Chain A
Amino acid sequence: MERAQGTSLTTNPSAIGSFEWNNRFRVQLWEDQPESVKMQQKENDSQLITFMNKLPRASREWTNPIMRYSIDTRLDGYTNLTVLASAADTYLKVDDTNLLRVGDTIHLPQSGQQMLVTAVNTDGASGWSNNAAVANCNVTVNRTKLGGPAVAASLGDAVLPGAPYMGELSELREGTTTSPGEPRYNYITLAGKYFAMSKLQLNAAMASDFGTLPKEMENIQFQMMSAVQTSLMFANRTTYYDATEKQTYVGSGLSFQLQDHTLDLGSLGVAATWPNFNDFLEPTFESSLSALKKDLFVGPKLFRDLLNTARTAGRTEMNPEGKTSYYSPDLGSLTFDISTDSGKRVSVHEEKWSLKAEGLSDWGFLLDSNNLGGGQYKGLGPQWFMNLQTPSEVMKVKHGFFMSWALNVFDTSTMGIIRGGTVPLINR
């Protein structure tokens, strides 16, 4: 201790002793508790993974890195003329010859005609030319036996198979069979990250959780979930071999699998109207495998634009509290519900951070929980592997988070992607 003279001040010139040594004797003042760190923004969200985990088919365990599945599609019960037919033509060209058999009747309702099928060719080399010299027609018909008009039929006219009429001593007519849907497959992806911490830091007393073991574990798990969510959206299916790491399997993400319905906001973006969105949404409900309600995960700009568009069109639905947008506790997202012109429902969820990047914030993924399957490899679900440090790393701890997953789209016609548009004009 030393003697000193003068007024005690909050500053600490070296001559004045009470607060010298860099405020060493001054109590630190915190606006709140020192461990309460106000995050400016949450780092990311992983509500898509939360959604995947809640799927009806989410909890399956697979025992092979390659999984196979198949989806059958409903077949149309009609076909169309691919070339026009004159009033005298007995050779027709239709889009789907597998629908017709010898002895079938066909109806062309648009021109009010009925015909009897006398021959069908399926190899495209029939040698049958109609009166307009169109080669390789694929159906031969009798236009007089069944009576009725024989007039010209237009390109694209519907051709409907009718009943195969039988006479007193007729035999049964041959029918058409079906084959299973196209086989599909996907891979199960493995991925993991680790962190290391010195044992000095491990046992250090910290004022907040930063730098502590629980916080580091949280960080790593969070990073993994965010990265996996990105893969769930954008990964392309592939597999490759590395001499050291051996075979790697990468399962396909949504954008790789959803190749049916795409709505491109083009150069309009923010000016898209309700009919634009409705025209995209309605066909995704056509399949009999479709759920009655779908979930649309969108970036923040599309969330705002679609909400405004649906509000203007009167297509938003109120929640029980009388609000259009609400916090969805199941997914942890801001959500609103819309109904299409034909009354099908879609819940729109804001992917506030993971689709925040410029150019992605007006993207959206329309998902159908009935047609998605998720799961993990047996024994390799999300888990921590502890103490991965080598025996010589005596001053370190090293822990890693690992998971395996796959996301399978079954009926792709029930889902779709919205791609971004222009950056909106902002009035200031």
Chain B
Amino acid sequence: MSKPQETKETQDVTKEVSSSVSAAIRFWSTHSSYKIVTAGRNIAFKNHVLDLKKDDPDVLVVRSTRSPYIREVLDRPFGKEEELARFNKFLSDLIFTGERGEASKRGVITVRALFHDRECDDMITDGRFDPDRLVMRALKTKSFKEGV
């Protein structure tokens, strides 16, 4: 199955970010303050995110938890249509938690955390992120190392 075609907008965003984060690993959690016990301290996610360098020994500790609430974020989209469909469902379930399917602030914050600081600047309208565009941007630019 062919890789989804990227728009120019997506390509630009990906290019801008990749240079600054290529040496880093981004762990992301659906829980805002996830902490993992390690010798003498806790490895702590802040606002859903934990950024580590590739050679940081904490990377192994985080991976070894195999927690269903922790994902390793990759700056490329899923390649298969079925994966994209599942990813879309996963993200939508996080964001659109309102009684009538409306977006929740908590969900937007959670999905927003998949991105680096400047990846989403263009999606703010009246000080808020457009949740539909946020999902689309995630589908086009992000995936999880362990699948979805």
Contacts and interface: CB of A to CB of B under 8 A. Distances in A.
Interface of A: 66, 68, 82, 97-98, 122-125, 135-136, 182-183, 185, 259-269, 271-273, 275-276, 279-280, 283, 419, 421
A280 B41 CA distance: 11
Given A266-B36, A266-B38, A267-B61, A97 B30 contact: no
Given A183-B98, A259-B31, A267-B65, 9 more contacts: A124-B122, A136-B122, A259-B106, A262-B29, A264-B34, A275-B41, A279-B44, A280-B35, A283-B33
A175 to B, nearest CB: 16
B107 to A, nearest CB: 9
Contacts of A272: 37
Interface string B121-142: 1111111000000000000000
B82 interface: no
A259 B121 contact: no
Contacts of B32: 259-260
Contacts of A182: 104-106
Contacts of B31: 259-262
Interface of B: 29-44, 61, 64-65, 67, 69, 98-99, 104-106, 117, 121-127
A195 to B, nearest CB: 36
A266 B61 contact: yes
Task: Name the residue in B31, B69, B105 with the highest tally of chain A Cβ atoms < 10 Å from its Cβ.
Answer: B31
A279 B64 CA distance: 21
A82 B117 contact: yes
A266 B124 CA distance: 37
29 contacts: A66-B99, A122-B126, A124-B125, A125-B122, A136-B122, A182-B106, A185-B99, A260-B32, A261-B31, A262-B29, A263-B35, A263-B42, A264-B35, A264-B37, A266-B36, A266-B37, A266-B38, A266-B43, A266-B64, A268-B37, A268-B39, A269-B37, A273-B40, A275-B40, A275-B41, A276-B41, A279-B41, A280-B42, A283-B33
Contacts of B99: 66, 68, 183, 185
A97 B104 contact: no
A165 B44 CA distance: 40
